[in-house]
Amino acid sequence: MPNTTQPNLIEHSVLEQNHQHFKIFKPYGFLSQFIPETRKKKKLLGELFPFPDNTMAIGRLDHDSEGLLLLTTDGMKSFQVRDKGIEKEYYVQVDGEITKEAISQLQNGVNISVNGTNYLTLPCKAFVLEKEPELPARGFKIRDARHGPTSWISITICEGKNRQIRKMTAAVGFATLRLVRVRIGDIHIDSMTAGEVVSLANFNDVLNG
């Protein structure tokens, strides 16, 4: 019986090389998709760059969230990125001066609602950022400084429930004002500007470090 293992491996390698992968700084106000929703005129990713056919977003960022989003023409990459071993880090601006107690609660897990059911988030990394991170302006003020102080924190999770970060900060008494994803695995937002697209030649290498 002929050995077909090697040709199959070569074929798989060629297919991988033919796929394209990107990272993008998703701006505020864009949907993480290419196909418009019925009766909704929202901005889509395809307006930002001439992506090749069959490009898809891996995971998503909400309409009002910003930052790092990965895109690919290889649907199998989605499973790899959504694995619980892959960290996702967010910089979060919250309303008020966040307390040590709130940070501790976030680290240990908090109760949020997921599809109408109570859910305890997994333990995560959370800490206060000593200074405001250098991020692209969102186009308008998040809030007037006269309305009180705000805090910037970092939250790193390995799961991704719908609007999870916003629900987590609300659960400890601090509403999220701005949410920016800055890292997925070892892929960083670096100094990208809003709407900027960067091609990732070696997706597996940059994701896993």
Residues tagged active-site? 62
State the burial class of residue 105 (Cβ atoms within 10 Å of its Cβ: 0-12, 13-18, 19+). middle
Q: Which residues contact 31 (CB under 8 A, 6 or more apart)?
A: 37, 42, 43, 44, 45, 63
Give ∠ CA 190-193-199 in degrees, rounded to 5: 65
